[in-house]
Structure 1
Amino acid sequence: MTYIKPAFRHPGLAKNKIGFARADYEGAISTLCAGCGHDSISGAIVQACYEMAIAPHRLAKLSGIGCSSKTPTYFLGKSHGFNSVHGRMPSITTGANMANRDLIYLGVSGDGDTASIGMGQFCHAVRRNLNMMYVVMNNGCYGLTKGQDSATADFGSVSKAGSENAFPAIDLVGLALELGATFVARSFSGDKKQLVPLIKAALSHPGFAFIDVISPCVTFNNNPGSTKSYDFVREHIASTSVLDFVPEQEEITVDYGEGTSASVVLHDGSLLQLHKLNPDWDPTDRDSAVNNLQHAKARGQILTGLLYIDPKSHDLHQVLNTVAQPLNTLRKDQLCPGSAALEKINAEFR
Structure 2
Amino acid sequence: MTYITKPQLHHPRLVENALGKTRRDYEGSVSTLCAGCGHDSISAAIIQAAYELDLPPHRVAKLSGIGCSSKTPDYFLGASHGFNTVHGRMPSVLTGANLANRDLIYLGVSGDGDSASIGIGQFAHAIRRGVNMTYIVENNGVYGLTKGQFSATSDKGSKSKKGVVNHDSAIDLVSVALQLGATFVARSFSGDKAQLVPLIKAALSHQGSAFIDCISPCVAFNNHEGSTKSFDYVREHNEAVNFLDVITGRN
Band of TM-score, shorter chain: over 0.9
Q: Any conservation in 2 of the 1:126–1:181 contact (CA below 8 Å)?
A: yes
Counterpart of 2:144? 143
1-structure distance, mates of 2:246, 2:10: 39
2-structure distance, mates of 1:128, 1:206: 13
Q: How does 1:314-333 map to 2 (within 5 A)?
A: none
Q: Does 1:26 align with 2:27?
A: yes
2-structure distance, mates of 1:185, 1:123: 16
2-structure distance, mates of 1:242, 1:12: 29
1-structure distance, mates of 2:7, 2:202: 32
Counterpart of 2:200? 199
Deviation at residue 12 of structure 1 after TM alignment: 2.1
2:238 aligned partner, one-letter code:
I
Q: Any conservation in 1 of the 2:202–2:246 contact (CA below 8 Å)?
A: no
1:242 aligned partner, one-letter code:
N
Partner SS, residue 216 of structure 1: coil
Partner SS, residue 85 of structure 1: coil
Deviation at residue 184 of structure 1 after TM alignment: 0.4
Counterpart of 2:223? 222
Q: Does 1:179 align with 2:198?
A: no
Deviation at residue 67 of structure 1 after TM alignment: 0.2
Q: Any conservation in 2 of the 1:198–1:243 contact (CA below 8 Å)?
A: no
Return the index of the structure with the highest Cα Rg. 1
* RMSD over equivalenced CA pairs, Å: 1.5
Counterpart of 2:242? 242
Counterpart of 1:68? 69
Deviation at residue 263 of structure 1 after TM alignment: 5.7
Q: 1:68 to 1:263 in 2, by over 3 A?
A: closer
1-structure distance, mates of 2:56, 2:181: 30
Q: Any conservation in 1 of the 2:190–2:196 contact (CA below 8 Å)?
A: yes
Counterpart of 2:112? 111
Deviation at residue 155 of structure 1 after TM alignment: 0.2
Q: Any conservation in 2 of the 1:36–1:216 contact (CA below 8 Å)?
A: yes
- Listed one character per residue, the Cα deviations across residues 225-274 of structure 1 (whole Å, up to 9, x for unaligned) are 100000100111123x3335xxxxxxxxxxxxxxxxx662x3xxxxxxxx
Structure 1 unmatched runs, 5+: 245-261, 267-310, 314-350
1-structure distance, mates of 2:47, 2:68: 18
Deviation at residue 4 of structure 1 after TM alignment: 3.3
Deviation at residue 153 of structure 1 after TM alignment: 0.2
2:102 aligned partner, one-letter code:
R
After TM superposition, which residue ranges in structure 1, 4 or more long, deviate above 6 angstroms? none
1-structure distance, mates of 2:246, 2:52: 20
2:13 aligned partner, one-letter code:
G
Q: How does 1:149-160 map to 2 (within 5 A)?
A: 149-160=150-161
- Listed one character per residue, the Cα deviations across residues 286-335 of structure 1 (whole Å, up to 9, x for unaligned) are xxxxxxxxxxxxxxxxxxxxxxxxx359xxxxxxxxxxxxxxxxxxxxxx
Q: How does 1:256-271 map to 2 (within 5 A)?
A: 264=247, 266=248
Structure 2 unmatched runs, 5+: none
Counterpart of 2:191? 190
Q: Which has the higher contact order (CA 8 A, sep 6+)?
A: 2
Q: Does 1:165 align with 2:166?
A: yes
1-structure distance, mates of 2:21, 2:162: 46
2-structure distance, mates of 1:106, 1:3: 23
